[in-house]
Structure 1
Amino acid sequence: MDEPGRDVHNISTDPWESIGLLHAWLDARRPPDGADSLLLRVLKLSEEVGEVAQAVIGAMGRNPRKGVTHSWDDVQAELCDVVITALVALRTMTPDAREVFTAHLERVTARSLGAEGRREAGVAAGSGGAGSADAGSGAAGGAALGS
């Protein structure tokens, strides 16, 4: 649903600019709830993760009452919603969300891949493969990578 006077065809493709715009849009449309704002945005993240699970179950047809209800494109869209929601929550915590995320990503990548792993991942990334998503051995690196 388009807002009057809003040019939806001129929306930024820069993810961080979009996160900032979404953050501002949400802040302008919510009642003043102070610290609860972050809590509610984190809870929204849990809701979005549940929608990923629902889409995977639907794409695999694992609900015997419903059968196949989703596509893998639906799963991809739901995963994108998780990322967007997480970044908006991070932006709610700090105006330096881009820097915080970039620094954390660099730490997780270095810890998980190390020099040898980065070379291997470069080959995998260039081929479009999943690469070493399970290469994390450090506690935080592994947790961030889901292993």
Structure 2
Amino acid sequence: MEDTWDIINSLAARLDSRSTRRGEERWLVQIVKLQEEVGEVAEAAIGALGENPRKGFSHSWDDVRAEACDVITTGMVLLARMGGDPRRLFEEHLRRLAARDLRPERG
């Protein structure tokens, strides 16, 4: 199987090759797409809980997981479309989060 970031970079390149937008406008479109995906995971969660009186239990928790994967993938594609080395940027960010949030607690 291909490396995750190789797939993400290929998806980003494909989107860029089909886009009529340039530069920051491409990024903005991807940000809007990310927001759309976040809405879909929220819709799936509401459906898994049966909280929409009109639709009832319209989704499963597996649907929620799949939509969450779409959110993550779309965010990664956004990072790739913005240029630079998305793998390095993400890993550095993750290390900063770990250093900040995974420190041993003082008792």
TM-score by length of 2: 0.92
Report if aligned partners of 2:30, 2:78 keep a CA contact under 8 Å in 1. Answer: yes
Q: Give 3-state SS (helix, strand or coil) of 1:20's partner.
A: helix
Show structure 1 runs of 4+ deviating over 3 A.
none
CA distance in 2, matches of 1:65, 1:40: 31
- The answer to whether the aligner puts 1:100 opposite 2:89 as a matched pair is yes
Q: How many residues were matched structurally?
A: 105
Q: CA deviation at 1:35?
A: 1.8
Question: Could you say which residue in structure 2 is the equivalent of 1:6?
Answer: none
Q: CA deviation at 1:94?
A: 2.0
Structure 2: segments with no counterpart, 5+ residues: none
Q: CA deviation at 1:33?
A: 2.9
TM-score by length of 1: 0.68
Q: CA deviation at 1:30?
A: 1.3
Amino acid at match of 2:8: I
Question: Could you say which residue in structure 2 is the equivalent of 1:77?
Answer: 66
What is the 5 A alignment of 1:11-26? Answer: 12-26=1-15
Task: Please say which structure displays the higher CA radius of gyration.
Answer: 1
Report if aligned partners of 2:13, 2:81 keep a CA contact under 8 Å in 1. Answer: no
Structure 1: segments with no counterpart, 5+ residues: 1-11, 118-147
Question: Could you say which residue in structure 2 is the equivalent of 1:43?
Answer: 32
Amino acid at match of 1:49: V
Higher relative contact order (CA 8 A, sep 6+): 2
What is the 5 A alignment of 1:1-147? Answer: 12-114=1-103, 116=104
1:66-97 CA-to-partner distances (Å, cap 9, x unmatched) read 10111111100100000100011111112310
Q: CA deviation at 1:39?
A: 0.7
